[in-house]
A = this chain, B = another copy of it.
Amino acid sequence: MKKTALIMAGGRGERFWPKSRKSLPKQFLSLTDDGRTMIQLTVERIRPLIAMEDIFISTNRAYRDLVLEQLPEIPPENILCEPVGRNTAPCIGLGAVHMAKKYEDALMVVLPSDHLIKYHQMFLNALKDGCSIAEKGSNLVTIGITPDYPETGYGYIKFRPDEAEGNAYAVDRFVEKPDIETAKEYLETEEYLWNSGMFIWKVSTVLDNLRQLLPDMYDNLEKIGDAIGTEKQEMILEKTFPELESVSIDYGIMEKAKNIYILPGVFGWDDVGSWLAVERIQKSNESGNVVTGNIITIHCKNNVIQGGKKLIAAVGLEDLIIVDTEDATLICDKGSASDIKMVLENLKICNREEYL
């Protein structure tokens, strides 16, 4: 069966401020050594499995030009622009109606645009496994990440080890971000995987589930789908999409649907959740500093310093994150990385839009 992909690239992650901005979210940034952006790497990874013409990018209208620029090989009509952000269920629904228009039915791989994966072949193997399982009947497949520590920042998915389907297991339930004690228990049972936000199903399967579980949304998506290729396409999307309920695919479908399977993924996944991730994904020098740009370090260790043309002289520093951009510089203790959002709140309160 034809394989298609929907890469979700509408996010506005604030955790990479000041490099990420409203006008340039994380998926359009290069955070690795090789210079390619997160979304470019995402497309690159699935090329051996899915043709460029079958890769759809769902994003906000504001980012259309960024997508065109960074992914010139993606057909422009495959860039699906949401007039407003409405969480993942409408986003995936919009992708599904486009794919249904192009192909009667197809396999649909849904991927975030801002994660990193180290072992490409293992990842591709997982996608292939997922496709095989999704092709049978009306299975919904998600890819879980085998946790290696009790992370409290991710949702978890409990599976039933005694109910396998190929390499996948039947899903027992989706659970929200746990506290540390609960996360430790999850880790110990070995029956929980991290929710990676990657899904595989047939277009027909996800649309069937939308019809049953989110019927109002389905009706509106049908209208949008009917207009594709007509002169009313834009107008109907503009009018109808904002009316869709803002709900996640997890909550709207996955927690309620049947025949859900999860593939345990072990392919060096990283959600690159904050500046701290840069230490994991970029090479550090012998002092443990991860340094980009015009930097002098004197007696510094274990810092992340992301500069550019401007000289940054770091003296006697330890465990700091320093990010310099044209109009703003962040200097943050590693232990306070989660407080970067307070900077953004402060900027919002003070109406300093130019920095957001």
Contacts and interface: CB of A to CB of B under 8 A. Distances in A.
Interface of A: 17-18, 296, 298-299, 310-318, 320, 322, 324, 327-333, 335-337, 339-340, 342-343, 346-347, 352, 355
A311 B317 CA distance: 21
A328 B315 contact: no
A6 B91 CA distance: 76
Contacts of A314: 331-332
A209 to B, nearest CB: 43
The 9 closest A-B pairs by CB, nearest first: A316-B336, A316-B333, A315-B332, A311-B328, A313-B343, A298-B342, A315-B336, A313-B330, A315-B339
Copies in the complex: 2
A151 to B, nearest CB: 21
A313 B296 contact: no
B343 A331 contact: no
A145 B299 CA distance: 34
5 contacts: A310-B328, A311-B329, A317-B320, A317-B331, A322-B331
Given A298-B339, A298-B343, A331-B331, 11 more contacts: A18-B313, A310-B327, A310-B328, A311-B328, A313-B340, A313-B343, A315-B332, A315-B337, A315-B342, A316-B336, A317-B332
Most-contacted residue by chain B among A17, A298, A314, A315 (CB, 10 A): A315
A329 B312 contact: yes
A339 B299 contact: yes
A275 to B, nearest CB: 10
Nearest to A333: B316
Contacts of A17: 313
B329 A296 contact: no
Contacts of A317: 320, 331-333
Contacts of A335: 316
A282 to B, nearest CB: 19
B311 A327 contact: yes
Nearest to A17: B313
Nearest to A311: B328
A320 B336 CA distance: 15
Contacts of A343: 296, 298, 313, 315
A146 B320 CA distance: 40
A209 B329 CA distance: 55
Nearest to A347: B296
A298 B336 contact: yes
Nearest to A309: B327
A312 B347 CA distance: 12
Nearest to A331: B314
Given A296-B346, A298-B343, A346-B298, A320 B313 contact: no
Contact of A316 (B299, B310, B313, B332): B332
Contacts of A340: 313, 315
Contacts of A355: 311
Contacts of A322: 331
Name, among A296, A322, A339, the residue most crowded by chain B CB atoms within 10 Å (CB to CB). A296
Contacts of A328: 310-313
